[in-house]
Structure formats: C-alpha cells, structure tokens
Amino acid sequence: MRILRSADYPALAWKNGRGVARQIAVFPADAGYESLDWQVSRPTIERDTPFSRLSGLDRQFMLVSGNGVTLHVRSAEDRIDFRQRIERPLESFAFRGDWDVDCALVGGKVEVLNVMTRRGRAAARIEIREATSPALVRKAASETLVVYAADPLTAYGIWGEDGLRVGDAVFGEEPEPTEIAIAAAGTVPARAVLIRLDCA
C-alpha cells in the first residue's frame, strides 16, 4: 500500500486530443489506450466535447466536482440512442468505449473519475464508503485497490498514518490480502471511492 498525491498525477492527453486527464494508476505500467488492461484517471472537462472512441474498453464515469454533464450515447450496432444527465456527485454511470458519446456541460467545467477496463481481461467494482471514525477497508488477494479521497481523509496502514487531501489516493497492488483503515480528517463524515480491480 502506498499514498498517491494528486499533485504528482501525470497529465494524460485524451486519445482524441480534446482534453487532458490526470492519470492515477494504470496496468500494465506506462500502457497506452491500445494496450492497457485497466486505468483510473481524473479528467477535467472544460467545454462541450465528444469523448474518445475506445474500442474494447468498458468505462465507468463519476462526477467529483462541478454542476454536471449530459451525455448523448449512440451505437447503431447495439441500437441505442439516449441522453443521460449526470448531476449527483459520486454516482457511477457505465458505458462502452466503443459507443459514440457527446458530452454537454450543465454549467461550467467539471472533474470526473474515469475507470476503464479491457473487456474480457479486467473488471472493476466501485463502492462509496462514508466514514467519521475509522472504517476498515480490506483488499483481497490478487486484487488491486484504489481508495480515492472524495473528501479529506486520514488513512491508517502498515506505513503508519497519513492525511489525504481531496484527490489523493491509497494504492495497493501486492498479491497478498491486506487492509487499511480510513477516517474523516475532521468531524464531518467523509467519503472515499473504493475501486477494486481484477484481471483475468
């Protein structure tokens, strides 16, 4: 388990060149869009834009700041054409990277969490955990865990304790099971996004 600081996330250009994300973690290390098994990133969307087309990838999209977006999702092959308005923070919306998606901002720029997995090779499960007093988070054997701080948190693990600002994360990829505890940094309940990643 190690701490990842938001200020250290590398900038990652979208595949279509229309935006920039901050890459939190990727597997294999340094993999690009065509070769990754999974990726967790935090894009900033500053204007209405089409999303990149990413064949073979499944995506989970979650608002973390801003007023929201409306996604227009289309696929002639799968016979879908609908609009999805996303305004509630930390509510996950799943869609295929193969689909055509246009994004319209509701009112100003937004930041989102974007979890991508290679279909047939990896899968992701997302859970929102709220904590005031320390709450235990377990990582199963062979599972990769990303704990993203949606609010200020204190994390306790084998390294001791550390404060997490909004956007920081705890990252665990060791093959054995392990656990950490998280708690709100203040008296108000705080939320963490738990992203559990498994490879086939």
Q: Provide the mean pLDDT of the chain.
A: 95
**pLDDT range class, residue 187, cuts 50, 70, 90:** confident
Name the pTM for this structure: 0.94
User: pLDDT tens across 128-161, in order?
Assistant: 999 888 999 999 998 999 999 999 999 998 888 9
Q: What is the pLDDT of residue 12?
A: 94
Domain with CATH 2.60.120.10 in the chain: 2-120, 123-199
CA-based radius of gyration for the chain: 17
The class (CATH top level) of 123-199 is mainly beta
pLDDT > 70 fraction of the chain, expressed in percent and rounded? 100
Concatenated DSSP letters of 7-37 = GGPPEEE-TTSS-EEEEEEEESTT--TTT-S
- Whole-angstrom CA distances from 85 to 21, 71, 72, 75, 103 are 21, 6, 9, 18, 10
The class (CATH top level) of 2-120 is mainly beta
Q: Has residue 200 got a pLDDT over 80?
A: no
- Whole-angstrom CA distances from 11 to 4, 23, 52, 127, 149 are 14, 6, 16, 25, 19
User: pLDDT tens across 23-66, in order?
Assistant: 999 999 999 999 999 999 999 999 999 999 999 999 999 999 99
**How, if at all, do strands 135-139 and 100-105 pair?**
unpaired
**The two three-digit tokens of residue 27, written as one number:** 């597997």
